[in-house]
Amino acid sequence: MISKKKQTYRILIFITVWLISGLIFSLNPGLSSHSYAQDSKVSEQSIDILTKTGQAMVEIAEAVKPAIVNISTTRTVKIQGRDQLLDDPFFKRFFGDQFKMPKERKTAGLGSGVIVSSDGYILTNYHVIKDADEIKVLLSDKRDFKGKVVGTDPKTEIAVIKIEATNLPTITWGDSNRLKVGEIVLAIGNPYGLNQTVTMGIVSAVGRANVGIAEYEDFIQTDAAINPGNSGGAMVNVKGELVGINTAIFSTSGGYQGIGLAIPSDMAKDVMDSLIAKGKVVRGWLGVSVQSITPELAKQFNLKEEKGALVGDVVEESPAEKAGIQRGDIITAYEGKKIDEPYQLRNMVANTSPGKEVELTIVRENTTKTIKVTISEQPAEVQKLSKGEYDNLLRGVTVQNLTPEIYKQLNLPKRLKGVVVSEIDEESPAAMVLTQGDIIQEINRQKVTNTKDYENIVAKVKPEENILLLVFRNGSSIYITLSAK
């Protein structure tokens, strides 16, 4: 038994030690965190840096999330490939319409959008609202509105919709031209319908083109996680400024694999402004066809670098012809900005207001020259020659020229000429007839040797006209018909 005197003594000692410890920590507040840091084997400096970084991300997310919306759509899809037996009069005589199949069905889609004005204008991707019968917009505060399409531009994958609301939270525009590889960015959207999802990554690359998503491409590549449903959402920098519109992923599984693509905010804003003001996108036109400089071409043209846009053809009566541009010229700069690849020239010309005089730097026969050109508006016949945009049975079918790589990959005979089917929209009338990898050699008995032939022939086919195709598939050529009925 411990005597009461000893027990009281021990209590006094405990209280004294506790008071002294408290006095020490009050005189040296960092001692506690320092001890904790040593116990966790993480320095106080590291904890401080990461805490501040985390807090910064929280502030960015909180500032931006209210301007990101969830977009859900419903659309009517025609059912292809109906069983002809069900329409047979003999079958109907015995079974009636009990096996009757619907000719169309309703489908739902999910995506994201960015509020760019307090009175309800929302920026998103074209494919998010394409062919939608109804658009529903869900705000961060759980209010929902009906969305109305203001304008679309399939060539850049941009669309603008509007809701009837005021005093909405908006996002600040950033300058995507200043983005550098390695910069931290956040992607905000609604992947798989999970509202207000934020992911972080870096800018993996800028100026990505020729990926087959849109006609005018200048994508920002990021490793920030982007998944289905993120399309149309925002990519923001560390200032919380909009620098891109999340558009697509590169994936073999359909989900995130570290490669996401976003449309630069500068391009998106130009398209948006034109759609709101004019209901369409007015693009500049130079009137040349150009190609990349290969090592062989650089050698033939005595070029020191494999950079620039080589002029292969000049359209008659075009701004280029009037300014004196010739076949074989190499365009190396546009308004003082260097041209490394043809897509850069194409985008710059398209973004130039018709009627504006610009300065081109060209190399002709080893001599550098400066030429002034007055850009005109892109003619209607040029605008409609985009991938799959025809009002006939071949709408939604995208083709490309045969290249040495495609010949090798598909094991094609060298004598074979035509265009390869690279993509088919699921709603295309040809979706159940053509397949990716088919080589179209003839259309209505007219030979097709390249995409120019294809476009010229298909553009003249009427909506109600049946189409006869000669297609190379599985090692042999076969005739295929597309019927309007």
Res 37: pLDDT? 46
pLDDT band, very low/low/confident/very high, at 99 (cuts 50, 70, 90): low
**Cα separation of 17 and 15, whole Å?**
6
- Shared domain for 152 and 65, answered yes or no, is yes
Q: Calculate mean pLDDT across residues 150-156.
A: 90
- Shared domain for 196 and 316, answered yes or no, is no
Residue 39 lies in a domain: no
Distances (CA, A) of 172 to 44, 55, 183, 377: 35, 20, 18, 30
What is the number of residues in the chain?
Answer: 485
Q: Which candidate, 207, 102, 115, places its Cα nearest to that of 161?
A: 115
Q: Calculate mean pLDDT across residues 314-326.
A: 90
- Shared domain for 375 and 429, answered yes or no, is no
- Shared domain for 373 and 472, answered yes or no, is no
- Shared domain for 356 and 409, answered yes or no, is no
pTM listed for this prediction: 0.67
Res 13: pLDDT? 57
Residue 36 lies in a domain: no
Res 432: pLDDT? 84
pLDDT band, very low/low/confident/very high, at 220 (cuts 50, 70, 90): very high
Burial zone of 438 (CB within 10 Å; 0-12 exposed, 13-18 middle, 19+ buried): buried
Res 28: pLDDT? 55
Instruction: Supply the DSSP symbol for 428.
Output: S
pLDDT in tens, 53-81: 889 889 998 999 999 999 999 887 666 55
pLDDT in tens, 338-350: 999 888 898 899 8
Whether the predicted pLDDT of 25 surpasses 70: no
Instruction: Supply the DSSP symbol for 379.
Output: P
Whether the predicted pLDDT of 161 surpasses 70: yes
Residue 18 lies in a domain: no
Least confident range from 121-125, 246-250, 281-285: namely 246-250
Q: What is the CATH number of the domain that holds 340?
A: 2.30.42.10
pLDDT band, very low/low/confident/very high, at 85 (cuts 50, 70, 90): low
Which H helix or E strand runs over 134? strand 134-138
Residue 127 lies in a domain: yes
Four-residue CA torsion sign, 418, 419, 420, 421: negative
Res 148: pLDDT? 94
Instruction: Supply the DSSP symbol for 382.
Output: H
**Which of 316, 348, 380 is the last residue in one of the domains?**
380
Q: What is the CATH number of the domain that holds 219?
A: 2.40.10.120
Q: Which candidate, 250, 256, 132, 131, places its Cα nearest to that of 189?
A: 256
Q: Calculate mean pLDDT across residues 244-264.
A: 80
* Percentage of the residues of the chain whose pLDDT score is greater than 90: 39
- Shared domain for 289 and 330, answered yes or no, is yes
pLDDT greater at residue 383 or residue 409: 409
pLDDT in tens, 406-427: 887 788 998 899 999 988 877 7
Listing DSSP states for 203-264 in one string gives: EEEEEE--SSS-SS--EEEE-S---TT-TT-EEE-TTSEEEEEEEEE--SSSS--S-EEEEE
Whether the predicted pLDDT of 384 surpasses 50: no
**Which of 255, 281, 307 is the last residue in one of the domains?**
281
384: phi then psi, degrees, rounded to nearest 5: -80, -10
- Shared domain for 350 and 453, answered yes or no, is no
Whether the predicted pLDDT of 336 surpasses 60: yes
Distances (CA, A) of 386 to 24, 389, 390, 454, 458: 76, 6, 9, 12, 12
**Cα separation of 284 and 399, whole Å?**
25
- Shared domain for 260 and 311, answered yes or no, is no
**Cα separation of 322 and 371, whole Å?**
11
Res 251: pLDDT? 64
Whether the predicted pLDDT of 129 surpasses 80: yes
Q: Calculate mean pLDDT across residues 129-146.
A: 92
Whether the predicted pLDDT of 332 surpasses 90: yes
* Percentage of the residues of the chain whose pLDDT score is greater than 70: 82
Res 257: pLDDT? 75
- Shared domain for 404 and 353, answered yes or no, is no
DSSP-derived pairing of the beta strands 439-443 and 419-424: antiparallel
Residue 449 lies in a domain: yes
Residue 2 lies in a domain: no
Res 158: pLDDT? 93
Q: Calculate mean pLDDT across residues 452-476.
A: 89
Residue 353 lies in a domain: yes
**Which of 359, 380, 401 is the last residue in one of the domains?**
380
- Please give the tally of structural domains in the chain: 3
Question: Which residues are bridge partners to 328 per DSSP?
Answer: none
- Shared domain for 166 and 312, answered yes or no, is no
Res 263: pLDDT? 93
What is the overall mean pLDDT for the chain?
83
pLDDT in tens, 422-441: 888 777 888 889 988 899 99
pLDDT band, very low/low/confident/very high, at 271 (cuts 50, 70, 90): very high
Whether the predicted pLDDT of 297 surpasses 90: no
Res 385: pLDDT? 40
Residue 299 lies in a domain: yes
Res 176: pLDDT? 92
Res 121: pLDDT? 96
Q: Calculate mean pLDDT across residues 161-177.
A: 93
Whether the predicted pLDDT of 164 surpasses 90: yes
- Shared domain for 273 and 298, answered yes or no, is no
Q: Which candidate, 171, 142, 175, places its Cα nearest to that of 68?
A: 171
- Shared domain for 309 and 325, answered yes or no, is yes
Domain range holding 447?
384-482
Q: Which candidate, 282, 436, 430, 283, places its Cα nearest to that of 346?
A: 283
Helices (H), 141-223: none
Res 88: pLDDT? 60
pLDDT in tens, 27-62: 555 544 444 445 668 888 888 888 988 898 899 989
